[in-house]
Structure 1
Amino acid sequence: MKIIAEIGTSHGGDIEKAKKLIDCAVESGADYVKFQWVYADEILHPDTGFVNLPTGKIPLYERFKELEVEPAFFEECLRYTHEKGAKFTCSPFGPRSLEELLSIHPDAVKIASPELNHIPLLKDLAGYRKKNDIPVIISSGVSHLGDIEEALSILGREKITLLHCITSYPAPEEEYNLKVIPSLSAIFGIPCGVSDHSLDPVLVPSIAASLGASMIEKHITLSKETDGLDDPVALTGEQFALMSHCIRQCQAAFRQYGENAKGYILKQLEDEYGERIQKILGDGVKKLAPAEEANYGRTNRSLHFMRAMKAGEVINVEDISVLRTEKVLSVGLHPRFLDDVIGSRLTRDVQNGDGVQWKQLL
């Protein structure tokens, strides 16, 4: 069982802070440290809306622009991670970040939940995997079974780890439905774990470990009071170390008791947490959690116009992007239809940022 410390963008572009986070992750028991290779243009439209931060209300696109760093930043993070004895993984968000990430030879590529349906990104990664044997980790928050199946049909199933996830910050523990971990593993024939956005350092990771999770991912921060986008839901080093200890204790129980360890672990947790454990276990059926239902379509990728266009114009490749809709824009067509949209003629005027719809196309 592998533990991933998700640093994400909490380094704020400061390489010394990034190294402190790597130190913290490794000292707290992480096998992998994970970053996010951000280019705002690959994620959001400039008019996507605003985000509330302690410093005030600012455009979400501008917040992502602030998180952009040079490739040399991640190359140094990779080198330092290896020096500390851990593995390096990172999430790309589009073709440019994927190409640059692959050029530094990470130990694995992580596809985040909103990019599970980024078909062009997945195809680019699949093309690379035909010649280069690189592991891939994919999160499955805010998705249906069909979304996972489509992603795997592109990426293949060799050296793939699937992480069950709830795309909500924070995610309610009682909605995690962790019995879905063995269900997904059986359905797709690949190792499955969890990417946990809940606040408790023990509950979800320990239950997931009892169910045979192959990998557990959780955000880490130097302080919950800093201004990283995910810092409020991240674990401090002390909390992360507690989580790692609990996971390793679960592993030790399996070594000692075999399959009987599952009941032993769950009984201990029920003695401490009561009926919450059964709620967190759920029914094992893959479905959207209540906390993320409203995000489906908006957090995932869809097709958006990148300029205002007039009826009768022909859509060229540079007129469309595969983006998260997020705050205020209309949701567009699924990215699988990108090739069908390119070359179509508009039946009506469209605004910059609009989601692409069939009724707009001839």
Structure 2
Amino acid sequence: MKIIAEIGTSHGGNLEKAKRLIDCAVESGADYVKFQWVYADEILHPDTGFVNLPTGKIPLYQRFKELEVKPSFFEECLKYTHEKGALFMCSPFGIRSLEELLSIKPDAVKIASPELNHIPLLKKLAELRKNQNIPLVISSGVSHLSDIEEALSILGRENVTLLHCITSYPAPEDEYNLNLIPNLSRVFGIPCGVSDHSLDPVLVPSIAAALGGTMIEKHITLSKETDGLDDPVALTGEQFALMSHCIRQCEAAFRQYGENAKGYILKQLEEEYGERVEKIMGDGVKKLAQAEEANYGRTNRSLHFMRSMKAGEVINMEDIGVLRTEKILSVGLHPRFLDKVIGAKLTRDVEKGAGLQWEDFTIHN
């Protein structure tokens, strides 16, 4: 099982802190060190709402703006990661970050759950992968089976790993439904693992390993008390090392007992955690977890007006953003309809940030 230490944006734009996080990840047993290539306008509209931080309530868009760094930052992180003997993975959030990411030749690209339906991004990635068959990891939080199928129909399945995920921070262990790991692998014919946002460093990762997961992703932090967006749900280095040790113990069990190792591992976990193990395994049917039901459509992407416009105006590409709706804006049309929207004429006035609706425009063939 490959272990991903998700640094994300916990570095806060500070290169020295990023290097300390890389050191922590590698020393704690990570195979991959992962970052997020953030440009705020690829993710959110400026009017998307607020986020509560220890320093107060601030606009979420502005928080992402503060996390923007130059490409040279990631070049240095990639170089340093390689020097430490690990692999470099990163998530892009739009076309610009994708192209800049591929230009530094990462070891793998990760598509995060909210971008699973970012159709323009997926199409561009599929185009660029034709000449550079870089390993690809995609997360499937806050999604239906049809969403995964559509994404894979664009990206293909060669050199792709799927991560089951619950998009909730923290994610309740009991809702993880880890029997999805072997089921999704069979359905799509690709390796499957888990992106884990639960707080326990042992339970979800160990059960995932027992069920044949090939990859585990967990956030890592230097301290849960710092102001990184994901720091409260991340593992400290000591916790991450414990997780890595448990996963390697599961692998050793498979080497010793073969397929019988699954029962052996689960029995050991049940002796310590009781009936929680069975609950975490779930029924293996793909559905939205209760913790993420309210986020479907809001956390993932839809079409939004970038400026206020008047009835009669024609919609151009620069007028539309493929964005996360998040806090207060209205959810728009699915990104798959972007091509139909461009060139359409507005039938009524619209406000900046609002999600596009079919009633907003007419399409002229």
TM-score of the alignment, normalized to the shorter chain, above 0.5 = yes
Structure 2 distance, partners of 1:32, 1:191, is 17
1:358 is matched with 358
CA displacement, residues 52-102 of structure 1 (integer Å, 9 cap, x when unaligned): 000000000000000000000000000000000000000000000000000
2:51 is matched with 51
Structure 2 distance, partners of 1:240, 1:16, is 20
Structure 1 distance, partners of 2:218, 2:5, is 6
Structure 1 residue 45: Cα displacement: 0.1
Aligned length, in residue pairs = 362
What one-letter code is carried by the residue in structure 2 that aligns with 1:346? L
Structure 1 residue 221: Cα displacement: 0.2
Give the SS at the match of 1:292: helix
1:315 is matched with 315
Structure 1 distance, partners of 2:102, 2:201, is 32
Give the SS at the match of 2:287: coil
Give the SS at the match of 1:205: helix
1:61 is matched with 61
1:181 is matched with 181
Structure 2 distance, partners of 1:125, 1:322, is 15
CA displacement, residues 183-242 of structure 1 (integer Å, 9 cap, x when unaligned): 000000000000000000000000000001000000000000000000000000000000
Structure 1 distance, partners of 2:247, 2:70, is 35
1:330 is matched with 330
Structure 1 distance, partners of 2:212, 2:29, is 19
CA displacement, residues 104-152 of structure 1 (integer Å, 9 cap, x when unaligned): 0000000000000000000110001111110100000000000000000
What one-letter code is carried by the residue in structure 1 that aligns with 2:324? R
1:280 aligns with 2:258: no
1:253 is matched with 253
What are the equivalent positions in structure 2 for 1:69-108 lying under 5 Å apart?
69-108=69-108
What are the equivalent positions in structure 2 for 1:22-33 lying under 5 Å apart?
22-33=22-33
Give the SS at the match of 1:16: helix
RMSD: 0.3
Q: Which runs of 5+ in 2 are unaligned?
A: none
1:149 is matched with 149
Structure 1 distance, partners of 2:265, 2:94, is 41
What are the equivalent positions in structure 2 for 1:117-196 lying under 5 Å apart?
117-196=117-196
Give the SS at the match of 2:290: coil
What one-letter code is carried by the residue in structure 2 that aligns with 1:34? K
Give the SS at the match of 1:212: coil
What are the equivalent positions in structure 2 for 1:161-310 lying under 5 Å apart?
161-310=161-310
Give the SS at the match of 1:218: strand
What one-letter code is carried by the residue in structure 1 that aligns with 2:210? S
Structure 1 residue 20: Cα displacement: 0.3
Structure 1 residue 178: Cα displacement: 0.1
Give the SS at the match of 2:57: strand
What one-letter code is carried by the residue in structure 2 that aligns with 1:253? A
Structure 1 distance, partners of 2:322, 2:316, is 14
Structure 1 distance, partners of 2:32, 2:130, is 24
TM-score (norm 2): 0.99
Structure 1 distance, partners of 2:343, 2:357, is 14
1:21 is matched with 21
Give the SS at the match of 2:291: coil
Q: Which runs of 5+ in 1 are unaligned?
A: none
Give the SS at the match of 1:25: helix
Give the SS at the match of 2:10: coil
Give the SS at the match of 1:201: coil
Structure 1 distance, partners of 2:197, 2:252, is 25
Structure 2 distance, partners of 1:197, 1:291, is 12
Structure 1 residue 17: Cα displacement: 0.3
Structure 1 residue 258: Cα displacement: 0.4
Give the SS at the match of 2:206: helix
Structure 1 distance, partners of 2:85, 2:301, is 35
Give the SS at the match of 1:47: coil
Structure 1 residue 361: Cα displacement: 1.2
Structure 2 distance, partners of 1:49, 1:133, is 38
What one-letter code is carried by the residue in structure 2 that aligns with 1:64? F
Structure 1 residue 304: Cα displacement: 0.1
What are the equivalent positions in structure 2 for 1:103-114 lying under 5 Å apart?
103-114=103-114
TM-score (norm 1): 1.00
